Amino acid sequence: MELSVAKSECLVNLKVHSLKLKRLEITYCGNVESIEISAMNLVSFNYSGPKISQPFKNVNELVELNIGGAYYDYLIYNFFEISSYLSHLESLTLTMTSVENGIKFAKFPVFDKLKQLELKIYVISEYQSLLVFALLIEACPFLNKFVLQLELLKRKQQRIRQSFASRPHQYLKVVEFIGFVGRTNDAELAMYLIKNAVVLEKITFDSHRPFLIGTPWEHEDTKERKAARKRAKHFRKKLPAGVALVIL
């Protein structure tokens, strides 16, 4: 059983009590104030919207979590609030409209079952360091696949430098950069992963802009895309032997 609600202005308070519900999706409902979920067989929860209090009451089998909107801004600093419901979590997707450098002070529970982590980020400058997410990546010791979807919203901003101690990722085999530009921030994170993913098998640099995927302009070969692919080729010499490099 699945329940999906999108773009509803009427949804304010939602209580879900069901033994049959497997998937729940609440997106772009701007008036939501509270959600209460009691569904012991729920395996997937997708929520993008306003900040809400801890939504889970009886959820024990969650394996997929997708969070965006204002609730992301709250949750990134308060993951421990729902950590007891994430013991089976295998896939986590976070969509954010900005990169707060204060995230380096955030603390994350250990996601010891997580296999796939996807970050969808809209940044206002190439100078916003993405290394702040190294802390989140390191909280996933058995991570097998990491996907970064990046949309650059250009604005001049002073470079804020980040540095993190290198910690090897023993299980990370697949890395994908969607919306790769090859400027300061995405290249910096790529090098961090190349150096620390000790069993890396494949890294993909995809120059398609995320906003254009699925539109008639998806495959338009702009000078920006050509420049991004050229920058991606520079990583060939930095990859360990046997790691496949894919450039799109």
Distance CA 107, CA 117 (A): 17
Q: What pLDDT, on a 0 to 100 scale, did the predictor assign at position 154? A: 56
165 touches 193 (CB < 8 A): no
Burial of 53 (0-12, 13-18, 19+ CB in 10 A): exposed
Q: Give 38-95 pLDDT, tens digit per residue.
A: 999 999 999 999 999 889 988 989 999 999 988 888 888 888 989 989 999 999 999 9
Domain segments of the chain as ranges: 90-247
pTM over 0.85? The answer is no
Q: Residue 31: helix, strand or coil by DSSP? A: coil
DSSP 44-85: EEEEESS--S--EEE-----EEEEETHHHHHHTT-GGGTGGG
Chain segment 155-198, per-residue pLDDT in tens: 444 444 555 556 788 899 999 999 888 887 888 889 989 988 98
pLDDT per residue as tens digits for the range 104-125: 667 888 999 999 999 988 776 6
Beta bridge partners of 17: 38
pLDDT digits (tens, 9 = 90+) for 5-51: 999 889 999 999 988 999 999 998 989 999 999 999 999 999 999 99
